[in-house]
A and B are shown apart, each in its own frame.
Chain A
Amino acid sequence: MAHQAHSYHMVDPSPWPIFGAATALLTTSGLTMWFHHNSMQLLMLGLTSMILVMVQWWRDVVRESTFQGHHTPTVQKGLRYGMILFITSEAFFFLGFFWAFFHSSLVPTPELGGQWPPTGIKPLNPLEVPLLNTAILLASGVTVTWAHHSITEGNRKQAIQALTMTILLGFYFTALQAMEYYEAPFSIADGVYGSTFFVATGFHGLHVIIGSSFLSICLLRLIKYHFTSNHHFGFEAAAWYWHFVDIIWLFLYMTIYWWGS
């Protein structure tokens, strides 16, 4: 049996990258069909196949690391860089939407009544549910840090408790936002106010759901003894992502909800 003379991971050939690309094509085509031709089948097919690929790809990463031991410190360093670069790219993604918001709100056009919020728009009270949501996400930042400390200290029970609380707070945030969306007196079609509000908060909400899913997988892995007290990068990546989601919310709250009301 050949042994490698380096600390990097030469992965087995895998079908997931090319299948992933195919599912991305299906999903984007599906979105087009949904937006313009009132048909959801292609989109559903795209999303289903995308989820299947993601599950199997990440399942394989867990196999390669926890079960096969390929994640040496060198490999882990690369993964850390990767996650940081990814989160940075997401920050730029949101930056675009904040730019759009400030473009329209700093110099409101005559069509909007020369004011922000535009004439006729009744914004949400930032001191009601949005403030609660801020408290929820800040608390979840504390609980995820508590979970991390519990993992490094080898305290299994507390780690499970803290991570569970984090996930529950995430679900609570999503439920409250869903309710706010339903009850809001304005919609995405209400001019540039509606567009900037729902696109920015909508993408944020999607990231909360993604983050909650990532944390849930980590909880499952934590319960199944995958993490050790000094090797648990999957959890750290999820925690970084979660903090990022929290910070984006703080910016959303201060700019769109508070300053923009």
Chain B
Amino acid sequence: FHLLFQSLRQLSQRTISTASRRQFENRVPEKQKLFQEDNGIPVYLKGGLMDALLYRVTMGLAVFG
């Protein structure tokens, strides 16, 4: 078990390239700006087009099912 732990540790300490490192930057401030915009849109639609699409699919299934 100790050997497994050691190799897991080494794996997570390996440096990652700049491209993938950008994926793990803190994106929360951008989201905070988007969702705090004073545009009157309710939270369930405030994320954009995907929200509306998902909402309509869900409504279709739930109501007409």
Contacts and interface: CB of A to CB of B under 8 A. Distances in A.
Contacts of B19: none
B2 interface: no
Contacts of A157: 12
Interface stretch (A46-54, A84-92, A179-187, A209-217): A46-54
Nearest to B60: A49
B28 to A, nearest CB: 5
B36 A49 contact: no
Interface residues of A, number: 33
A67 B32 contact: yes
Interface string B22-65: 00101110011011101000111011000000110111011101
A96 interface: no
B61 A49 contact: yes
Given A14-B43, A52-B54, A69-B32, 15 more contacts: A13-B42, A15-B44, A15-B55, A23-B61, A26-B65, A52-B61, A56-B44, A56-B54, A63-B43, A63-B47, A64-B43, A68-B32, A160-B12, A224-B26, A224-B27
Interface string A55-68: 01000100110111
B54 to A, nearest CB: 6
A248 to B, nearest CB: 26
28 contacts: A11-B43, A13-B42, A15-B44, A16-B44, A22-B62, A26-B62, A26-B65, A48-B61, A49-B58, A49-B61, A52-B54, A52-B61, A52-B62, A56-B44, A56-B58, A63-B31, A63-B43, A63-B47, A66-B28, A67-B31, A67-B35, A68-B32, A68-B35, A160-B12, A161-B9, A225-B26, A225-B27, A225-B28
A161 B12 contact: yes
B54 A63 contact: no
Contacts of A14: 42-44
Which has the most chain B C-beta neighbours within 10 Å: A66, A160, A224? A224
A49 B44 contact: no
A12 B43 contact: yes
A100 interface: no
A49 B56 CA distance: 11
Interface centre among B55, B62, B63 (most CB of A within 10 A): B62
Contacts of B59: 15, 19
B34 A67 contact: yes
